Structure 1
Amino acid sequence: MYVDGKDVSADSGARLTIVNPATGRPIATVPDGVGVDVDNAVAVARAAFESGPWPRMSRTARAKALLRAADALEAASDTLYTLETQNNGRPITETRAQLSRVPEWFRYNAGLLAAQRDAVLPSDGPYLTYQKRAPLGVCGIITPFNHPAMILARSLSAALATGNTVVVKPSELTPLTTLAIARIVTESGIPEGVINVVTGGRDAGIRLTEHEDIAKITLTGGTEAGRSAAGATSKRFARITAELGGKTPVIVFDDYDPTRAAEGAAFAAFVASGQSCVAGARFLVQRGRYDEFVAALVARAEKIRLGDPADTSTQMGPMISDRQRRKVLEYIDIGREEGARVAAGGEVPELPGALNDGFFVQPTVLADATNSMRVSQEEIFGPVAVVVPFDTEEEAIEMANDNRFGLGAGVWTRDIGRAHRVAEAIESGMVWVNDHHRLEPSLPWGGVKESGAGKDAGTESFDDFTWIKTIVVRIADDDVDWYGSDEPGRLN
């Protein structure tokens, strides 16, 4: 683990084995932290907040520190994306593209910090009223296995920019880039104790959400984990931002070329092996072009190259674990039983050498589904695209919203009026039109319904790592004497 600028072991000495999911073979061990380890890390972070220099630095000094961290992360990008590819099995072309953007979050939040203005509020009478923002304190960040570096950067950069100290609990499956980033950022000039990482499993995550000294939790994970964290933080009125599950509807209208839509659909469904909360999971396709779309999507899925994630020719990697692979295969069987047609994939591929021990699943298309099927309603979190026909725009909107999740959505159409109309009608925190999964540091990221609460990225995230103090200053020369006034209600 990484606490107070040093590598430390778990209090118990226990360790976790980290596996390369492309081969099923161990690549590292890390400490298996539990509650006492979280307590130790929080104590360090609290001391750094209460008596350390970080919250007391000028905005300019803190912004410069974040910019130095961004430069250091950029310089280390080759090491980071190689490490992440080994740890979570995403093809190196994907991790290179994603991790090359990690420094952007630090530069963006440094810019927000440098440009931040305190509000002056209108007041009746002889008063000057203004607001000041202050950091919350010690913040906990819980990250998932699928995008560990990117999701860490989103929250960490905002928490640091606003003067907080941090304890991070990465997924027990993919802690390696988190540990590397914490070291790089600290060594670039962030004071020791400001960033702390506790590796471990469920017990460590629960203790972090329940800890009385944690002022805010930012969590990306499953809906049940988010529900548990929300309950824990609510007991002490701590803040929480939770990005949870999704079952992203992607509506394809018949005015869009079905082959081109299928190319976009393949990216939406199969990037990160479908292990993304905003993966295109439900394709609602207008009936007039439905057969053409399915045929084009099947053709594209069957050409996707599975293989060694470290090979630049590989287009799709494995599931994160054998457990996740078994879950995905079970859902494919459920789809068959429900009456969906396995139009592509649906099996474990045969791969050469050590890759055959990895946790791969073929890119899968379940066609001729209905929106009420379990495979259309429940999050599979794997490379499974479910395709459902529809007739009218109204029906497509109703089907898109008929789900307990509301994180992301997509619309493919050449009708500009329809694009805006449908995007507005979909109950989702984010909607892409004629594209998918695009993000920027300035774009708030988060969902509605059971997909969570709050926003990562954007000014919304930056502001939510602070609390507001309102200051009212009387600027009149005379004194305040309520009881000495001859006129009730008048202040002398």
Structure 2
Amino acid sequence: MAQSTLDSMPGASTGTVVITEPLNFWGGKRVKPREEKNAEPVFEPATGRVLCQMVPCGAEEVDEAIQSAYAAYQKWSKMAGMERARVMLEAARIIREEKIAKLEVINNGKTITEALGNIDFSWKSIEYYAGLAGTLAGQHIQLPGGAFAYSRREPLGVCVGIGAWNFPFLITTLKSAPALACGNAMVYKPSPMAPVTAVILAEIYKEAGVPDGLFCVVQGGAETGSLLCHHPKVAKVSFTGSVPTGKKVMEMSAKSVKQVTLELGGKSPLIIFKDCELENAVKGALMANFLTQGQVCCNGTRVFVQREIMPQFLEEVVKRTKAIPVGDPLLGSTRMGPLISKPQLEKVLGFVSQAKKEVQSALWRRSFVPSDPKLKGGYFMSPCVLDNCRDDMTCVKEEIFGPVMSVLPFDTEEEVIKRANNTTFGLASGVFTRDVSRAHRVAASMEAGTCFINNYNINPIELPFGGYKMSGFGRENGQVTIEYYSQLKTVVVEMGDVESLF
């Protein structure tokens, strides 16, 4: 494995790292761009300085990566599930020993505490699907006259993964682990804003023993993504990102009838009833809104609070929001780092300014300028709580993807369920109540792929994750994901003479 970047991580600090190695990977090695044109700067969110240059892959490079993946697939798919499992378990072991979290923080801006949790989840996801690799099987069916049939669960071929910038390394593992367990190869395109850790996973897979080319990384934006979606040797596309881009991925993939999994945006409701344990409800609301600077697709950003407890809830949630330490994401004491980019920061601040115009409410926010001189150019903002919101407000209807919590009062269960479901999204939902019957009744009523009861943003690898409505389709995580990275073949065996009508 090329160690230079990772070797520098133990002593690295914010504002010191520069990435010079190639970020593409296929044929078992890092690959330099053919041309340096159209290079895009990649910024360190905490400082605003240039971390590296991302050069998008063109048609020839994309084809080369896919051909490399297809050749590796021919070998990998013929291995027994237990053989694949042993290689994947070795990859999980290597991840546990690598210093990837710091590099993730430097490229993404999330806190080191969260990044360490993400890396922990990453090796667990590979370990989980390694455990399933040896269990993949079909059925045997006895037919009349001694004939029989059986089904075979087979891989799809070369799968494409297109990732998002909020969980760069984790999403890479969540897409590649089930794909590889089923016998597929994968060509992965990370977000152009967070491109540096996907290639680390490619090197880890190689070190673990996968065939050269089995997991490839190509860099680029929309044009590179389009080349991947249209390539005739690609069997499936798994995309995580925004709804508009997801629609384009689906449209492009449909032209050659590729399978598609879409994990898109959300504007999820969190419902807090007056009989809740208030301390837990406040903690849940904070976890539902401020992880990764609010840049989480399943965040519960519409917080519905029953009117009787609204004053107590607001007092406590604002007090705790004000106390969140914002600053250098590599410090263990920091609980909120910078947003991913300057345009994203400006977009989020624009939503807050718009909210001020739409309602005369107790709007809590404060400007944030880090005291550390090296952070002056970073993309920081303070977490924000918007009080007395209405369902028709822009901040309530549209996905903000920043640390902004919108709080709305409600009176009855029937009313709040109707309001909670009145959205085009359907990724997640949550409810806090001591009433067990109500909890399950509300969960059953939510038009969303996940409902958290008396907690929020708990997504174990064992459980399926995905959306309803415009939040996408297909599932990641859990055993069901095997269905999305494999296909069934039916084999019918006649043991006697053929009966013919002709």
**TM class by smaller structure:** over 0.9
CA–CA separation in structure 1 for the residues paired with 2:389 and 2:145 = 66
Counterparts in 2 of 1:33-48, with a 5 A limit? 33-48=57-72
Unpaired runs of 5+ residues, structure 2, are 1-23
Residue aligning to 1:481: 499
Residue aligning to 1:18: 42
Q: Is the 8 A contact 2:162 2:190 kept in 1?
A: yes
SS at match of 1:333: helix
Q: Is the 8 A contact 1:258 1:296 kept in 2?
A: no
Counterparts in 2 of 1:320-335, with a 5 A limit? 320-335=340-355
Task: Number of aligned residue pairs: give it.
Answer: 478
Residue aligning to 2:9: none
Counterparts in 2 of 1:358-377, with a 5 A limit? 358-377=378-397
CA–CA separation in structure 2 for the residues paired with 1:257 and 1:468 = 48
| Letter paired with 1:410 | G
Cα distance change on mapping 1:122 and 1:453 into 2, 3 Å: farther
CA–CA separation in structure 2 for the residues paired with 1:389 and 1:43 = 56
Q: Is the 8 A contact 1:63 1:110 kept in 2?
A: yes
Counterparts in 2 of 1:213-362, with a 5 A limit? 213-339=233-359, 341-345=361-365, 347-362=367-382
Task: Normalising by structure 2, report the TM-score.
Answer: 0.92
Q: For 1:89, which of 104, 109, 119 is the aligned residue?
A: 109
Deviations 1:84-134, CA, capped at 9 Å, x for gaps: 011101010110112112111111111111122322246455331210011
CA–CA separation in structure 2 for the residues paired with 1:121 and 1:464 = 23
Deviations 1:377-396, CA, capped at 9 Å, x for gaps: 10000000000000000111
| Letter paired with 1:62 | R
Cα distance change on mapping 1:237 and 1:122 into 2, 3 Å: farther
Deviations 1:374-426, CA, capped at 9 Å, x for gaps: 11110000000000000000111011100110001111111110000000100
SS at match of 2:197: helix
CA–CA separation in structure 1 for the residues paired with 2:144 and 2:329 = 64
| Letter paired with 2:199 | L
| Letter paired with 2:46 | A
Tell me how far 1:350 sits from its aligned partner. Answer: 4.3
Q: For 1:8, which of 17, 24, 31 is the aligned residue?
A: 31
Task: Normalising by structure 1, report the TM-score.
Answer: 0.94
Cα distance change on mapping 1:296 and 1:35 into 2, 3 Å: farther
CA–CA separation in structure 1 for the residues paired with 2:73 and 2:243 = 31
Q: Is the 8 A contact 1:48 1:54 kept in 2?
A: yes
Counterparts in 2 of 1:439-478, with a 5 A limit? 439-475=459-495, 478=496
Q: For 1:126, which of 132, 146, 166 is the aligned residue?
A: 146
Counterparts in 2 of 1:181-220, with a 5 A limit? 181-220=201-240
| Letter paired with 1:224 | P
CA–CA separation in structure 2 for the residues paired with 1:423 and 1:349 = 41
Q: For 2:51, which of 17, 27, 30 is the aligned residue?
A: 27
CA–CA separation in structure 2 for the residues paired with 1:351 and 1:36 = 47
Residue aligning to 1:488: none
CA–CA separation in structure 1 for the residues paired with 2:141 and 2:424 = 40
| Letter paired with 1:305 | P
Cα distance change on mapping 1:223 and 1:384 into 2, 3 Å: same
CA–CA separation in structure 2 for the residues paired with 1:135 and 1:346 = 52
CA–CA separation in structure 2 for the residues paired with 1:161 and 1:340 = 54
Q: Is the 8 A contact 2:45 2:107 kept in 1?
A: yes
Tell me whether 1:73 sits opposite 2:95 in the alignment: yes
| Letter paired with 2:86 | K
CA–CA separation in structure 1 for the residues paired with 2:101 and 2:448 = 31
| Letter paired with 2:50 | P
| Letter paired with 1:17 | P
Which runs of structure 1 show a deviation greater than 3 angstroms over 4 or more consecutive aligned residues? Answer: 121-126, 346-351
CA–CA separation in structure 1 for the residues paired with 2:364 and 2:278 = 17
CA–CA separation in structure 2 for the residues paired with 1:349 and 1:393 = 42
Q: Is the 8 A contact 1:127 1:474 kept in 2?
A: yes
| Letter paired with 2:100 | L
Q: For 2:430, which of 383, 406, 410 is the aligned residue?
A: 410
Unpaired runs of 5+ residues, structure 1, are 485-492
Tell me whether 1:62 sits opposite 2:84 in the alignment: yes
Q: Is the 8 A contact 1:166 1:195 kept in 2?
A: yes
Q: Mean alpha-carbon deviation: is it higher for 260-269 or for 450-459? A: 260-269
| Letter paired with 1:11 | R
Q: Is the 8 A contact 2:449 2:467 kept in 1?
A: yes
CA–CA separation in structure 2 for the residues paired with 1:317 and 1:240 = 33
CA–CA separation in structure 1 for the residues paired with 2:363 and 2:142 = 63
SS at match of 2:224: helix
Q: Is the 8 A contact 1:301 1:344 kept in 2?
A: no
CA–CA separation in structure 1 for the residues paired with 2:385 and 2:483 = 41
Q: Is the 8 A contact 1:222 1:245 kept in 2?
A: yes
| Letter paired with 2:393 | M
Q: Is the 8 A contact 1:390 1:396 kept in 2?
A: yes
Tell me how far 1:452 sits from its aligned partner. Answer: 0.5
